[in-house]
A and B are shown apart, each in its own frame.
Chain A
Amino acid sequence: MNISRRNALALGGAALTVTLVPVSFAQAAADDAMAQAVAEFTGGADIAEGGIELTTPEIAENGNTVPVGFSAPGAKRVVLLASKNPGPVVSFFTFGALSAGDASTRIRLAGTQDVVVIAEMADGSYTQVSKAVKVTIGGCGG
C-alpha cells in the first residue's frame, strides 16, 4: 500500500497529539490503526466533509450496546469506524440501487471516542462525518 502524503501528515498529527496530552502507547497504536483503516478504504484519496447524517448518542449509557445510524444518500460503499476500538473497522456496507444509502445498528465502544463514517459516492469521491460519543462506565447496579 502506498503511503500518501495525507497519511504521512496524519501520522505526524498523531505524534503531535502524543506530545501535547499524555496518551498511552495503546492510544498511539489505535490512532495508527485508524489511519490505516481509513487509507485502506479510500486508497489515500481526498475526503470531503459532510453529505452524511450520523446519529449517535452524545453519551452512551453502556459501551456494550451503542445505537448508531447514518444516512449517506447516493453512497455505494460506507465504512463505519470506531476510532479507539482495538480494531477500528466496525463494518463495511455495500449499497445497491434500491437502497437509500442508510443503515442503523448497535455497536460496542471500548471507551469515549469518535464514531466515524466515510462514504464512497457513486462518482468515486469520498466524504466523511464524525461524532464523539462519551461512554460512561456503568459503575453500579449489578
Chain B
Amino acid sequence: MKKLLSTVALGIAALTIGQAASADPSRTAKLVIDGTEISTHAKGMAGGPLDELYSGWLFRSDETRALQLDDFDNPAFVFVDDGETLFNKVDGSEGKSCSSCHEAGDFKGLRPVLPRWNEAKGKIYSMENYINDCRTERMGADKWKWSKPKMTSMVALISLQSRGLPINVATDGPVADIYEKGKELYYTRVGQLDMACSNCHEDNYGNMIRADHLSQGQINGFPTYRLKNAKLNSIHARFKGCMKNIRAKPYGQGSDEFQALELYVASRGNGLSVEAPSVRN
C-alpha cells in the first residue's frame, strides 16, 4: 500500500517536470498480418517531393503498431464486419443489396487507383461517389453521408480487398488540372497559424509536434481507426481535422477542394501499399 502511494506521488512529480515524451516510432518495423508482409516503405517517384515514402504506421508507438498485426486485434474490423452486413442488406425501392450485383472480392484493385476520372460523370470520383451512385441510381436508396459509419464501414470493406497492393493513382490526362489544384492546396498556407500541409508532413515528418509524432500524412491506410475517437475516420474527415488544428476553415467533405487534395496526397504515396483499415492514434 505504501509503495502504491509513493509511486502515485512520483507520477505527479514527473508531470510537473514536464519531461518530453517520446514514443517509439520505427523506420524498420515490419507490418506482417497473418503471415503476409505489407510493405510500409517505398521509394518516391523520381522528381517527386519525397525521396522515401513511409506509411503513417511507422510513426506510431510499439503498442499502436501492434494493434494492426492481427485482424483480431485490429479494432477497425468490427466496422469491416458492419460493412459486410450492409453489403448483404436489401435497401431502397429496387429491393436490391450490393450483393445482388457485386461480390466484395470483385473490388480488388480499386482502392489503389482512386480517386480517378469518371468519364461518364465528367468529374473526379472517390470511392464514396461510386458507392452513393449505386445506392441512388441502382438501388433507389438514400445517399450515405461522406464520413458517417455506414459509408466508412463500406469503404473499409472495399478497400480491404486491395490490402498489400501498391497505390497507383493517375495524375495526368483528364485529372491533370485537378492534380495541380490539389498540389497548390497542399502548399498553400492557411488559417490563423498560417501553415500548409507541407509544413508539417513534408518539412517535419519524424519530428514531434506537442506530444504527437508527425508522419508524412499518407492516406494508404484509410479509413483509419483512431484510438482518439474509437471509430473509422475517412480521408476527408482527417483533412478537416488537420485544417481545424491550424485554425483554418475546412473545405466540405466531398468538396472539389478535398477531392483535389485527396488525389494529390494519394499521388504522394504512389508505391506505398494499401494498408486499410489501419490503426492510428
Contacts and interface: CB of A to CB of B under 8 A. Distances in A.
Q: Say whether A associates with B.
A: yes
A47 B227 contact: no
Interface stretch (A72-80, A93-101, A132-140): A132-140
Contacts of A3: none
B7 A112 contact: no
Given A27-B12, A138-B228, A141-B245, A130 B211 contact: no
Contacts of A128: 4
A134 B4 contact: no
Contacts of A38: 1, 4
Interface majority SS (helix, strand, loop, mixed), chain A: mixed
Interface string B219-262: 00000001111100000011111111100000000000000000
Contacts of A40: none
B12 A136 contact: no
Contacts of B16: 21
Interface majority SS (helix, strand, loop, mixed), chain B: helix
B146 to A, nearest CB: 15
A47 B2 CA distance: 10
Contacts of B13: 21
Given A21-B13, A59-B22, A67-B66, A83 B2 contact: no
A17 interface: yes
Nearest to B246: A140
Interface size class of A (residues with CB under 8 A): 35 or more
Interface size class of B (residues with CB under 8 A): 35 or more
Interface in B65-79: 66-67, 75
B12 A21 contact: yes
A112 B11 CA distance: 7
A140 B246 CA distance: 9
A89 interface: no
Contacts of B10: 132
B38 to A, nearest CB: 21
Contacts of A34: 4, 8
Contacts of A10: 1-2, 4-5
Interface of B: 1-16, 21-23, 60-64, 66-67, 75, 209-212, 226-230, 237-245, 281
12 contacts: A10-B4, A13-B5, A21-B12, A23-B12, A38-B1, A59-B21, A59-B61, A67-B66, A83-B4, A84-B8, A106-B75, A132-B14
User: Which 3 residue pairs are nearest across A and B when measured between Cβ atoms?
Assistant: A142-B241, A139-B210, A136-B211
